Structure 1
Amino acid sequence: MSLYSRKAARLQLNLRKVAVKGGLAIGAAQAANAALQAAFIVILARLLSPADFGLTAMVFPIVFFVTMLQEGGLTSAVIQRETISHRELSSLFWINAAIGLALALLLCAGAPLVATFYHEPRVEGLTMASGGLVLLGALAVQHLALLNRNMHYGRMAFIDVTAAFVGFIVAIAVAAAYHSYWAIWLRGFVTIAMTFVLAWLLSGWTPGRLAPVSQIRDLIGFGGNMTAFSLCNYASRNLDNVLIGKFSGEVSLGLYDRAYRIVTLPLLLINAPLNRIITPVLSRTRDQEERYRNAFLSTLQMGLLVTVPLMSFIAGNSKGVILLLLGPDWIDAAPICAWLSVATLLQLAGNPMGWLYISQGRSRDLMLAGVANSMFICLAFVAGLPWGALGVAKAYAFCAFLSTPLLFWWATRRGPVSLRNLVGAISPFALVAGCCLVVVHLLQRSRPDTGLLFLMELLTASYATMVLTLSVTRTGRSCLAQAWSVAVSGFSMMQMRKRSSYG
């Protein structure tokens, strides 16, 4: 074996160990966050009304918009850069800080216009207060990016869980004491404030002098393309809330918003941590085509392995899920939840295409894909609006069904991963989704029970169906074997860490 081959092998082994350890840390953090999110949904649905959720859902699209601008696409620019100096990173920090301050002031100035648009005076105060949230978030962007770049997944997991837990406690306490929609806003603010404090403490980095513009021009250009993509993504993810809030009112928006939060939990639980782990790994192996391809496809399959049966379960038994999590007052959200689950099933395979664009430095391709996809989705929202929130959810699912194959083609035009590679990796899971939906639907019809025990039986049946379905194909069996290998590696690392802590 040549010296280069030995170095490449060691690099691959080290990256695998880091990825597995990072997966354990971030996976545990996301499991805790998902539990907190589920508890938040369940508890606040019984303390607050759909109108309260609708009020905050009117403001959050605006907050998401300015939050996206405050980041400026510079997080991804830092992560994918092979090397970056202290002065270059400091320049990006001060850029983010200036943008954050400007956006916070803009929120305060534009709050009356937001209230006028919705004909709802209460959203003015919420919009103005969100300025502080945006500024704190901007001051933590580069510290979090540096932690991610250096693969400090344990520290990132600690920040995520601690910030989410403190925000959860404060929100529940305020909701129980005052039954006010401000409890929902406070959760986001406290979570970001804690993230800001912990990111500064744990990153071990403080900003310094600015670098010459010539040194960061490529980073700014990359961030500009990422921001353009984020703007398009923002439109496709938030126009539905704006339209429903404007034309159907806060109650319909509250039902739609809670259904959307439920179906996106798997994306937060699985795709978000995978994105943190795999993007730095792919960026470091992009010159090794086979290793890059294998890392991408195996990570994609691991995510689908966990999420497809869960989303199929929610789509097939949305009524039982809504009754269990939100209660009978929210039953009108069940059909909305079912259709949004279908759209999310397609997103589970489509969202990881971003890993290819970012790790390969293809920010322009990502921007163009975002523009086309967002225009398509926004047209679908407008087409479904005459039928209310349910019509918007149906149009969203139909649009995802049509656009996902085109996104696959565009993402794999260049780079080590071909369209044939991608289709071969995900096709078994299309069969899994269909089989799981049929099994859950038939079991639910045969026994119209909505109790927790029966729902757990349905969820178990969905995962069992996945295992059986994957077992009949060679790709599926390979995926199951790989999942078992990763689980064994993770268990071994946990045991070694446990023994070392005692010894």
Structure 2
Amino acid sequence: MDTTEPKSGRKLIANGILWNSVQLLVNQSFAFIIKLVLAKLLFPEQFGLIGMAAIFTGFVQILNDLGVGAALVQRKNEDLSESHYHTAFWAGVIWTTGLFLIMFLVVAPFAAYFYHQPQLKTIIPVLSLGILFSSVNMVHKAQLTKSMNFKKLAFIDNVTNIMSGLIALVMAYAGFGVWALVFNTVSTVIFAMPFYFKATGWLPRFEWSNSAFNDVFGFGIYTTGSNILNYLYNNIDYLLIGKLLGASVLGIYTLAFVLTDTFRSRIMAVINNVMYPIYGLKQNDTSLLKRYYLKVVQLNCVVVFPIMLFFIILGMPFITNIFGAKWVGAVVPLRILAGSVMLHILVSGNTALLRGVGRPGLEMKLQLVKAAIFLPTLALGINYAGIEGAAWAILFNKLVVVVVAQYSFSLIPDFSLTLSDFLGCLKTPLIASLTASAISVALYYLHLNYIICAVALFVAYFLTLRFLMKDEFKSYFKGILNKAA
């Protein structure tokens, strides 16, 4: 078998990374500004209130399409008919309507009782409007993703986030407080609806096929199961901290988590959104999949490592100067969680790979193993050391995730990924990280301004990368620029 990477594949990947990167830049800029303004205007306990609501709405959000959207992307074109799309649309509408009613009538009152916060009775139903309307966008988004039309996806996402972000900022300055963040979360989904209809030109018909539903639901049920386990795995800390330690402590922890995990999750999304359909298209060529996967890990590490190093080395002056002394309790958790993100990014493409090769069942089993280890260690950490203990528990469990992910490769037929292969792709970002850290720490202990130390960190990091990956950098950026032109 010829495993040479096709030019068309390289162009699709370059195009996808380009437009997903544009999407990331705009989204994270506005998201960061909004979080910055709210953190200045709100107190930790108010920030924690949103964190409490987000635990419940986020959990239901992962159920909103039953994994059907992922199934539509993974299926080959010849295995899909129009009935699959129409059936998926109406299944999503019926399902999310039921979820919204459950959130309004059951979950909101329960959350208010569980946390002793009456405001959650109002906040959660309003946040849940995003769940209700998200099903309308599901099929359109799957169609654009499947066709690798990331330019349109980036345009829709950026325009709606800019619209929502600007209005949310005005609301924040006008004194709406937590409702500015609530509005921003809900409005992006609603604003996106007409853009998706225009981008695809697809309109749903009153058509239902039981065979089409069973076809995509059979794949989607495993994907949804994995998403549920993954969500519980990544958010049980919010639930326990909010319940055991209160809204104010949860607010401090939330800030630390948002600053670190936002970069990790969004950067992973950029690459995984591109690679998931590619993995599906190339699922029979395991040698090519291996090269793609290692490049994904390397690229994610190259981007994420310097950001996390900044938080670890310069977290104290960053928090106190940007957010104020009231948030100083977030510094230690921020540093620990930044380390956990650096571990997590090492397996950044694992989920997309397993789904792309049609192994969602294996993914769900691995999530069960990770959850069984994580829950007791998290409970012990919170009980003995509060939010710092929670952060250390997360760091330990990210190490477990790396080991479990490495083991999972041996369960994919003909997919041989050795530890040597894995470490080989990490060599360059690790050398750059050590070099940049040494320079930044030295400057910081010389009492230079933390902004100067930060600039030195990033400059040293990318200069080292350029020296070690000179030819690869040229080839990569040439491909991106040619595609953009």
TM-score normalised to structure 2 length: 0.93
Give aligned-pair identity as a percent.
22
Residue of structure 2 equivalent to 1:411: 409
Query: Any stretches of 5+ residues in structure 1 without a counterpart?
Result: 472-476, 498-503
Residue of structure 2 equivalent to 1:76: 70
Distance across 2 between alignment mates of 1:416 and 1:400: 27
Distance across 2 between alignment mates of 1:44 and 1:375: 35
Deviations 1:180-205 (A, max 9, x none): 21111111011121123322221221
Amino acid at match of 1:435: L
Give the deviation of 1:21 after TM superposition: 1.6
1:40 partnered with 2:34: yes
Deviations 1:75-131 (A, max 9, x none): 211111002111111111111111100010001112111101001111111012223
SS in 2 for 1:317: helix
Map 1:62-461 → 2, pairs under 5 A: 62-83=56-77, 84-110=80-106, 111-386=108-383, 387-420=385-418, 422-428=421-427, 431-432=430-431, 435=434, 438-439=437-438, 442-443=441-442, 445-461=444-460
Distance across 2 between alignment mates of 1:324 and 1:429: 32
Residue of structure 1 equivalent to 2:479: 489
SS in 2 for 1:168: helix
SS in 2 for 1:313: helix
Flag the 1:269–1:211 CA change in 2: closer, same or farther, 3 A: same
Q: Confirm or deny: 8 A CA contact 2:165 2:184 kept in the other structure.
A: yes
Between 126-135 and 234-243, the greater mean CA deviation after superposition: 126-135
Distance across 2 between alignment mates of 1:242 and 1:415: 38
Q: Confirm or deny: 8 A CA contact 1:147 1:153 kept in the other structure.
A: yes
Flag the 1:72–1:411 CA change in 2: closer, same or farther, 3 A: farther
Give the deviation of 1:298 after TM superposition: 1.9
SS in 2 for 1:69: coil
Q: Confirm or deny: 8 A CA contact 2:143 2:200 kept in the other structure.
A: yes
Give the deviation of 1:209 after TM superposition: 4.2
SS in 2 for 1:264: helix
Distance across 2 between alignment mates of 1:339 and 1:437: 19
Amino acid at match of 1:147: L
Deviations 1:204-241 (A, max 9, x none): 21122435322342321110001111111111111111
Flag the 1:42–1:140 CA change in 2: closer, same or farther, 3 A: same
Distance across 1 between alignment mates of 2:372 and 2:462: 35
Deviations 1:20-65 (A, max 9, x none): 1221111111111121122122222212221221111000011111
Give the deviation of 1:303 after TM superposition: 1.9
Residue of structure 2 equivalent to 1:500: none
Amino acid at match of 1:46: K
Give the deviation of 1:137 after TM superposition: 1.2
Deviations 1:441-481 (A, max 9, x none): 6325423445433322233234345556xx3xxxxx5xx53
Distance across 1 between alignment mates of 2:436 and 2:328: 21
Distance across 2 between alignment mates of 1:403 and 1:109: 37
Q: Confirm or deny: 8 A CA contact 1:336 1:389 kept in the other structure.
A: yes
Flag the 1:404–1:444 CA change in 2: closer, same or farther, 3 A: farther
Between 53-62 and 317-326, the greater mean CA deviation after superposition: 317-326
Flag the 1:114–1:35 CA change in 2: closer, same or farther, 3 A: same
Deviations 1:163-193 (A, max 9, x none): 1111211211111112421111111011121
Map 1:49-68 → 2, pairs under 5 A: 49-68=43-62
Amino acid at match of 1:88: H
Distance across 2 between alignment mates of 1:13 and 1:430: 26
Amino acid at match of 1:72: L
Give the deviation of 1:314 after TM superposition: 1.9
Amino acid at match of 2:169: I
Query: Number of paired residues?
Result: 480
Give the deviation of 1:328 after TM superposition: 2.9
Flag the 1:197–1:12 CA change in 2: closer, same or farther, 3 A: same
SS in 2 for 1:357: helix
SS in 1 for 2:128: helix
Flag the 1:440–1:164 CA change in 2: closer, same or farther, 3 A: farther
Q: Confirm or deny: 8 A CA contact 2:89 2:204 kept in the other structure.
A: yes
Give the deviation of 1:415 after TM superposition: 4.1
Amino acid at match of 2:104: C
SS in 1 for 2:202: coil
Q: Confirm or deny: 8 A CA contact 2:20 2:270 kept in the other structure.
A: yes
Distance across 2 between alignment mates of 1:451 and 1:166: 33
Q: Confirm or deny: 8 A CA contact 2:171 2:177 kept in the other structure.
A: yes
Q: Confirm or deny: 8 A CA contact 1:313 1:436 kept in the other structure.
A: no
Query: Any stretches of 5+ residues in structure 2 without a counterpart?
Result: none
Give the deviation of 1:322 after TM superposition: 1.9
Distance across 2 between alignment mates of 1:189 and 1:355: 27
Distance across 1 between alignment mates of 2:342 and 2:400: 13
Distance across 2 between alignment mates of 1:113 and 1:427: 46
Give the deviation of 1:286 after TM superposition: 1.8
Q: Confirm or deny: 8 A CA contact 1:293 1:416 kept in the other structure.
A: no
Between 231-240 and 377-386, the greater mean CA deviation after superposition: 377-386
Flag the 1:429–1:410 CA change in 2: closer, same or farther, 3 A: farther
Between 319-328 and 33-42, the greater mean CA deviation after superposition: 319-328
Flag the 1:276–1:454 CA change in 2: closer, same or farther, 3 A: same
Q: Confirm or deny: 8 A CA contact 2:103 2:124 kept in the other structure.
A: yes
Between 345-354 and 99-108, the greater mean CA deviation after superposition: 345-354
TM-score normalised to structure 1 length: 0.90
1:22 partnered with 2:16: yes
Between 441-450 and 374-383, the greater mean CA deviation after superposition: 441-450
Between 122-131 and 358-367, the greater mean CA deviation after superposition: 122-131
Flag the 1:193–1:416 CA change in 2: closer, same or farther, 3 A: farther
Q: Confirm or deny: 8 A CA contact 1:45 1:326 kept in the other structure.
A: yes
